[in-house]
Structure 1
Amino acid sequence: HMDRLTSFTSDPFDKPPCRGCSSYLTEPYIKCAECGPSAVLLCLQCFTRGFEYKKHQSDHKYEIMTSDFPVLEPGWTAQEEMALLEAVMDCGFGNWHDVAYQMRSKTKEECESHYMKNFINNPLFSSTLLSLYDSLILTCLFNSFSFAFHCIKCSTHR
């Protein structure tokens, strides 16, 4: 089914519909991790409303479906940008060998040149960071919201 998922993201006319409201899904959207074999896919609105359908329950485990999107330059996804910043904080500025080892997906040369270009020699450094955080904030807020939502549900069932 992975080839089916990649086709959703590469072709804008081949987007899956939301099981709740039938609108075409835009990322990020939700995939139930418990229902199958046909996937239960929901938009964020239907998910947060607790949409249920046949065997699908609102307290099922779920995955957030999102493609890794480039934020600052092609070839570096938002997740990799954050991982680079974390690795530099963990390993120390200039320790590109260990930074690359922690990153795994990039060489030490790639890490150094990307960091220098986008975070050091960049007059828009703060807005660069802001755009990076903005791109991830929806997912983070959404995760904490749904976590709280599920905790509230759990505590009311006792």
Structure 2
Amino acid sequence: MIAINPYLNFDGTTEEAFNFYKSIFGGDFAMIMRFDGMDGSENMSDEDKQKIMHIALPVKGNMIMGTDVLGSMGQQLTVGNNFHLTLGTESKEESDDLYTKLSAGGEKTLPMQDMFWGAYYGQLTDKFGIQWMISYDPRFTTQHT
């Protein structure tokens, strides 16, 4: 395994929150993706299109990542579902193994699959209610060690 990092969900304030974190921790954003241009964005309001789909801020060898929760996509932010633990893995096989083990007795919310942004990715909630994201992206395997 390469890394375990927090993934934070916000109710439309991701950009503001991450600019705040950047002012404290320094550095530059490794990635900023907006909802505009993703599959299905043609049906979104102009306001939702400008919200953050994914943002990443490196912090001393770790990464804080986040997204905006969109009511227009049926999502709702409540305390308790506003974060995930993200596992960065070294292979698809390791991803599948961790996904199978962590989801035992829990809920498989998104099966492991190749995603449009280039990662092999899945989501689950374990039997204790902790939300996990598992991601293998060969472009980043050497950056998290």
TM-score (norm 2): 0.29
| Structure with greater strand percent | 2
Higher relative contact order (CA 8 A, sep 6+): 2
| Structure with greater helix percent | 1
Larger Rg: 1 or 2? 1
